[in-house]
Amino acid sequence: MRTIKYIVIHCADTYPKMDIGVTEIDRWHKQRGWKGVGYHYVIRRNGIIEVGRTETKTGAHVAGYNSNSIGICYAGGKGKNGKPEDNRTEAQKISLINLLTDLKIRYPEAKVVGHHDLNPAKSCPCFDMQTLNI
């Protein structure tokens, strides 16, 4: 098993009405020339958690950190004006906390961070990570 140092939270940079999941992200990532969905988990607008890459496989979600991280992406993150926005549903917030709680049990040393914490040029995940209390 890989050594997991980070659990990285992302947003899909999609509008609130776009309920996308692993299938759509897999297609987008393949269009970019990747092997497929780069995230390990995707949280749909209704809170359903879909599995992307297995945790044993290296992700493709944050340059320089893929080999030692798990990537979680939620549908949303873009406001009606096209700017970054925390538009997670309550179901997504609950699912994210539940998923993080499970992952922290399995990877207690892993630090939970936002994509922007590892790449300051990114606004993703479009919310204050301090609000997670994990």
- How many structural domains is the chain composed of? 1
Q: Cα dihedral sign for 38, 43, 44, 50?
A: positive
Our answer to whether residue 126 is catalytic in this structure is: no
Query: What are the backbone angles phi and psi of residue 7, rounded to the nearest 5°?
Result: -115, 115
Report yes or no on 1 lying in a domain.
no
Range of the domain at 84: 6-129
The position carrying tokens 């998923």 is 99
- Which of 39, 41, 74, 107 is an active site residue? 39
Per-residue pLDDT at 133: 74
Report how far residue 42's alpha carbon sits from residue 21's, in angstroms, rounded to the nearest whole number: 6
Report yes or no on 134 lying in a domain.
no
- Which of 6, 10, 41, 73 is an active site residue? 10
| Tens digit of each residue's pLDDT (9 = 90 or more) over 79-120 | 999 999 999 999 999 999 999 999 999 999 999 999 999 999
- Which of 6, 40, 116, 124 is an active site residue? 124
Our answer to whether residue 61 is catalytic in this structure is: no
Report yes or no on 110 lying in a domain.
yes
Report yes or no on 116 lying in a domain.
yes
Per-residue pLDDT at 1: 72
Report yes or no on 40 lying in a domain.
yes
Higher per-residue confidence, 133 vs 76: 76
